[in-house]
Structure 1
């Protein structure tokens, strides 16, 4: 089984520049970082014209499909029929995107087959990391 799960999603850009009706984005999950997911936007969809990657908790994404959540840079909430709103707050401004809920649920289901929710600690590799640190000391 692969350690990394990637899935392309179509995001509808609601508030950001340059204005684009839909943009491709990529969701990624790595078993070696089992609490996190990453959402990457291509360069043409960003203000600086560089690829941008946001990292946030997998639980935040799962909760945001059902009810509003997030207090920091990433906030997620359900919206209408099978839509989910993701807000990304940065010093340069805020980007708001809509993603189809079924795409996010499919991605989460794949991550949970790889690392079941509640069992993330088993995949952290803390013993190996500690041993490596001690070898270096």
Structure 2
């Protein structure tokens, strides 16, 4: 399942709006993939922990490469997503804002596929795939 959601990036001169495709696969129940798009081109692809993404709608969570926190300033209801890239010059760093009600709706759909606490990861299968490489 996936959803296209309009997100925005804050810059020194204002906001830049673009689409992000949030995807979920019950076969990998802990992960929500986000692809940030420019037309059909993928600008960046991140894998977020589904539980952290959900908790970030209500309280600050995360450290290291990614952090989430609610942003309700100026009548907005958004999720602030801080992503730290791996480049030495910090060109990969970004702060993106996602419409919280739309994201909540998407996450509700993911929990209809695999409920919280019902996640299962077949470690034997994962290990077999890893060793086959």
Classify the TM-score, shorter chain. Answer: 0.7 to 0.9
Instruction: List runs of 5+ in structure 2 lacking aligned partners.
Output: none
Which of 54, 61, 73 aligns to 2:53? It is 61
- 1:119 is aligned to 118
Query: What whole-Å deviation, never above 9, does each CA across 1:59-104 have from its counterpart, x for those lacking one?
Result: 1101100001110211100001411101111023311111111011
Which of 10, 32, 35 in structure 1 is aligned with 2:6? 10
TM-score by length of 2: 0.80
Distance (whole Å) between structure 2 residues aligned to residue 120 and residue 76 of structure 1: 22
Inter-partner Cα distance in structure 1 for 2:92 and 2:11 = 9
2:22 maps to 1:30: no
- C-alpha RMSD over aligned residues: 2.4
Q: Does 1:85 align with 2:77?
A: no
User: In structure 1, how many angstroms separate the alpha carbons of the residues matched to 2:108 and 2:45?
Assistant: 21
Is contact 1:15–1:94 with CA below 8 Å preserved after alignment? no
Structure 1 Cα separation of the partners of residues 126 and 79 of structure 2: 39
Contact 1:27–1:38 under 8 Å retained in 2: yes
The structure-2 alpha-carbon separation of the partners of 1:125 and 1:87, relative to structure 1 and needing over 3 Å to count, comes to: same
Q: Which runs of 5+ in 1 are unaligned?
A: none
Per-residue CA deviation, residues 17-63 of structure 1 (Å, 9 max, x unaligned), is xx86211111001111100101101247xxxx753110010011011
How many positions carry a matched residue from both structures? Answer: 121
